[in-house]
Structure 1
Amino acid sequence: MTIETEFRSRSFEDVRRALLERREIALLDVREEDPHARSHPLFAANLPLSKLELDAPLRLPRRSVPIVVFDDGEGLAVRAARRFVELGYTDVTLLAGGLRGWADAGGELFQDVNSASKAFGELVESERHTPSLEAPQLQELLDSDADVVVLDARRFDEYQTMNIPGSISVPGAELVLRARQLAPNPSTQIVVNCAGRTRSIIGAQSLINAGVPNPIAALRNGTIGWTLAGQTLAHGSTKRFDPVTVDSVRVAAAASARAVADRAEVGRTSRDEARRWAEEAVRTIYRFDVRSPQEYQASHVPGFRSAPGGQLVQETDMFAPVRGARVILADSDGVRANMTASWLAQMNVEVYVVDGLTPADFTEEGAAPVARNAVTPPVADEISPTDLAILLRAPGTVVLDFTASANYVARHIPGAWFALRGQLADALPNLPEAQRYVATCGTSALARFAAPELAELTGKPVQVLTGGTTAWIAAGLPLESGETHLASPRIDRYRRPYEGTDNAHEAMQAYLDWEYGLVAQLARDGTHGFHVI
């Protein structure tokens, strides 16, 4: 059976038409993240074949959603399409010609990750002329003890890695709720920063849209701009916002956020209607709680996943990869959901906010429940950490670690080899001779899916480490670190020029130059439907 008869193809024109008409479509790049970041269509979501069974049920909750998969000629797309069908998805097609076919048909190709969200941020700045300060200007204000407060709109872990000295961690969705308390004097200059540009722009413009009376500015180019200016960043900072204690601050924030959502034509719904929509399964429905992860863990509305609002706007393709889906947001204060929804609506997302929630609705605690369509892993022959430690004293056993490469480099079982499941056949020639294999990862969740494929490719016995490397660590067994044995290349994660503290200045500048060009790319692409209020 040929590929053409096994799966239908959808042309560039057909996919483009679906995007323009806001019909549901999941355009999926099944390569690893690094090649995805090098080139992909604007609304292509990255869902690597390596982790498909783990990610698909959560990110593609409706089995009849139209799925279009592609690669760049590596043969991954057909394998992914087959796996989708095995998992029960009923409308699976291939992108005609793959990535090259898209480009040959005149489709625009984008770089980096979360490209649609970043392009939208650039469009916002272009149309609203969001005020900004250059790094030296902010440094001068700080050095002169001016009345200025710097609010870092990234996740707290990003803030701790590196931050503007004296800044406070206030992730994006929290800004409108907390700015009036953090800067009660309306003459205080508020500067919003992130690592690059997008969250700085969206954060500053959120405050402006919500009518916060202070002078507002984004830190132009974020911590990248700070570094390129030769200025020193702080590390390990812990300054976070305090709870809102003044009722008038909360009331003002809620009123202004609702007004912004109304201007953006955000839909309104109730808890019961949102649940009914999800149960009907005639549309792809995403339900997100946009508060902080800590609040979500303490209590949340059943059926809602944690998606802090600032990250949801920044990483829309990761949280909600089905373009044309319906997105429903909830919070406990009427601020964060409305502000987040206002941005999603401008990004041409059909978005609703749940009204009328009371503390009695937040009845579920802890992490989100397992996805409704979660895939049961294959039955595996298991081995305990202590038994594996004994087995490794003699030759003949090869341990394959299918965790993320960053986790592998940080710590792994001595002698274990890193491998990408999607490239397992290519990895095997790099391994030493083995009488048997043991598969592991963080918890062995992914290893259970890799084990039967490893057995089929090698014809050798394969066991799965019970509890994964986490159980090995808990047993107090030895570890090693570093790129000691790489059977596959480290392409599972794109090295972001705005993360970490050791990036080359040339890479930082190239990233900024790319962001500056996104508005022109949006115009050439023509499928986005963005509008800026």
Structure 2
Amino acid sequence: MSATPVRTFAQIRHALLQRQEVALIDVREEAPFAEGHPLFAANIPLSRLEVEVYPRVPRRDTAITLYDNGEGLAQRAAHRLRELGYSDVALLQGGLAGWRDAGGELFIDVNVPSKAFGELVEQERHTPSLAAEELKALLDQRADLVVLDARRFDEYQTMSIPTGISVPGAELVLRARELAPDPATRIVVNCAGRTRSIIGTQSLVNAGLPNPISALRNGTIGWLLAGQTLDHGQARQFGATRDTTRQQAAEDARRVADKAGVQRASLADWQQWHADRSRTSYLFDVRSAEEYAAGHLPHARSTPGGQLVQETDHYASVRGARIVLADDDGVRANMSASWLAQLGWEVHVLDGLRPADFSATGAWQPAIAAVAPFETISPDTLADWLAEGDTQLLDFTTSANHVKAHIPGAWWVLRADLANALAKVPRAERYVLTCGSSLLARFAVAQVQALTGKAVFVLHGGSASWLAAGRPTEAGDDRVASPRIDRYRRPYEGTDAPREAMQAYLDWEFGLVEQLGRDGTHGFVVM
């Protein structure tokens, strides 16, 4: 195997400052990634490389730089990427430690560019906010106000501010006038912490809504730290929007986007860019998942509800690429684009789209790598084999999903840790692999065969097919053979976060602007 070339901290920094395309990929799992990484690093774990890399780094000759923290994962990932057709793959000189030793700033947590940008927006625009105690007093007084939750609907359902309505961020400018038609009605925007509250509130301010508008300071974290009680399992959502409201919102959103420097493009422009292999271009549909499924532009990826602005590094993992946005109302794409432009992206909104252009239907189907042929078995066969014995079932789903429910007897294993994990699993004459759908599991077949020397099969349809057949499951972590580092537990996540962790998270967010200054590569411009 030929030696993999290296790129230095200085080369990456120069490319960022020149706004060249940079694909700096951290191939560790999400939890160690969240412990420290460069500002514009994208996390694509080695364990999930084949199912994530093509849509996130679509151009095969992109200059990709990989790193780990001395675990040896980056070299393995470089070899695999070359097999997948990527031609310009290098290692970061010295890995994560080399970045730090060269003077590079390290950031903790995930989706840091958007979170740091949110703090910068609040600092420069003085985004209005209310403390939890102030909002509680207004609610107790039955004041004329609406609380709009800017997170994803599933996050809102987990925990929400009393009376709150789910209006994911990209929907706010489109929906707020219907939810607060009286200009005297106060609008309070919340998320779990700070970023989406700030961006959502500032979106409404930028769009010129006449209402008094405030962010809930520190979101649901601030609410809990103030000793208040959250609701759980709520389902309040925005309703239909009248044509007159939609037209007003479209005019407001376009004005905001134009001020932010958003560029305009036609469908023909996108088609030309899509065919151009000299530049990376992404096409994102920022409407709801349901609208996307009913009809979308070919090759568009669904990024609903403002998550594109919150998680840009996850969707567009090549910094310096071109981003193209589409909707059918002129509101959500323009508002999302206004923020992406301020985040330093070249961003275009497609104008002049017709209903017939939204010709593709169904959920987004990512491009994934090809895999060698493998043999599948049915849930019935698996049940028989497990009853007979001498079969081990390996589960490659997320550790959280596995602990919540899995096929009885299954061992949870992390694919990048497979050799170590198999040492903890009793040996068997045959192995069956599964995950939620078996999409990821199939990529582990050759590796398990090589490590065990035994016959390896894939459960057809994954664990979902086992559930569909009405077969039992079990819960717990008795058979977890790898460290549970595949996902970073956010301090604002769930309903049982310690107060100390929540406060530490807020303190970290407050310090992000200072970190941006030390890093010096962000290119953010707040309008």
The answer to whether the Cα contact below 8 Å between 2:152 and 2:305 also exists between their aligned partners in 1 is no
| Structure 1 alignment gaps of length 5 or more | none
Following superposition, the deviation at residue 171 of structure 1 comes to: 0.4
Instruction: Map 1:222-371; keep pairs closer than 5 Å.
Output: 222-245=219-242, 247-371=243-367
Q: 1:214 pairs with 184, 194, 211, which one? A: 211
Q: 1:400 pairs with 394, 399, 407, which one? A: 394
1:510 aligns with 2:507: no
The answer to whether the Cα contact below 8 Å between 1:379 and 1:448 also exists between their aligned partners in 2 is no
Q: 1:60 pairs with 52, 57, 60, which one? A: 57
Following superposition, the deviation at residue 248 of structure 1 comes to: 2.6
1:457 aligns with 2:451: yes
Q: 1:182 pairs with 179, 182, 185, which one? A: 179
Following superposition, the deviation at residue 513 of structure 1 comes to: 0.6
Give the paired residue count.
Answer: 527
Following superposition, the deviation at residue 207 of structure 1 comes to: 0.4
Following superposition, the deviation at residue 168 of structure 1 comes to: 0.7
Q: Aligned pair in 2 of structure 1 residues 445, 199: CA closer, same or farther (>3 Å)?
A: same
The answer to whether the Cα contact below 8 Å between 1:377 and 1:445 also exists between their aligned partners in 2 is no
1:113 aligns with 2:110: yes
Following superposition, the deviation at residue 178 of structure 1 comes to: 1.2
The answer to whether the Cα contact below 8 Å between 2:286 and 2:332 also exists between their aligned partners in 1 is yes
Distance 1:230 1:71 in 2: 41
Distance 1:42 1:25 in 2: 12
Distance 1:333 1:436 in 2: 54
The answer to whether the Cα contact below 8 Å between 1:309 and 1:340 also exists between their aligned partners in 2 is no
Following superposition, the deviation at residue 370 of structure 1 comes to: 4.1
1:193 aligns with 2:203: no
Distance 1:91 1:335 in 2: 38
Give 1:450's aligned amino acid: A
Instruction: Map 1:408-487; keep pairs closer than 5 Å.
Output: 408-487=402-481
Distance 1:216 1:103 in 2: 41
Give 2:120's aligned amino acid: L
Give 2:215's aligned amino acid: A
Following superposition, the deviation at residue 309 of structure 1 comes to: 4.8
| Structure 2 alignment gaps of length 5 or more | none
Give 2:12's aligned amino acid: V
Distance 1:97 1:126 in 2: 35
The answer to whether the Cα contact below 8 Å between 2:289 and 2:363 also exists between their aligned partners in 1 is no
The answer to whether the Cα contact below 8 Å between 1:194 and 1:222 also exists between their aligned partners in 2 is yes
Report the counterpart of residue 18 of structure 1 in structure 2. Answer: 15
The answer to whether the Cα contact below 8 Å between 1:309 and 1:337 also exists between their aligned partners in 2 is no
Q: Percent identity?
A: 64
| More off after superposition, 307-316 vs 67-76 | 307-316
The answer to whether the Cα contact below 8 Å between 2:415 and 2:444 also exists between their aligned partners in 1 is yes
Deviations 1:147-168 (A, max 9, x none): 1111000001111110000011
Distance 2:493 2:305 in 1: 20
2:306 partner SS: helix
2:151 partner SS: coil
Deviations 1:222-277 (A, max 9, x none): 000001111010011111111112x3321211111111111111010001111111
Distance 1:441 1:303 in 2: 26
Following superposition, the deviation at residue 110 of structure 1 comes to: 0.3
Give 1:271's aligned amino acid: L
Give 2:223's aligned amino acid: W
Give 2:83's aligned amino acid: E
Q: 1:103 pairs with 93, 100, 104, which one? A: 100
Following superposition, the deviation at residue 394 of structure 1 comes to: 2.5
Runs of 4+ in 1 over 4 A off after TM superposition: none
Distance 1:188 1:386 in 2: 59
2:521 partner SS: coil
2:287 partner SS: coil
The answer to whether the Cα contact below 8 Å between 1:64 and 1:91 also exists between their aligned partners in 2 is yes
Give 2:333's aligned amino acid: A
Give 1:233's aligned amino acid: L
1:384 aligns with 2:378: yes
Following superposition, the deviation at residue 381 of structure 1 comes to: 2.2
Report the counterpart of residue 78 of structure 2 in structure 1. Answer: 81
Distance 1:117 1:426 in 2: 36
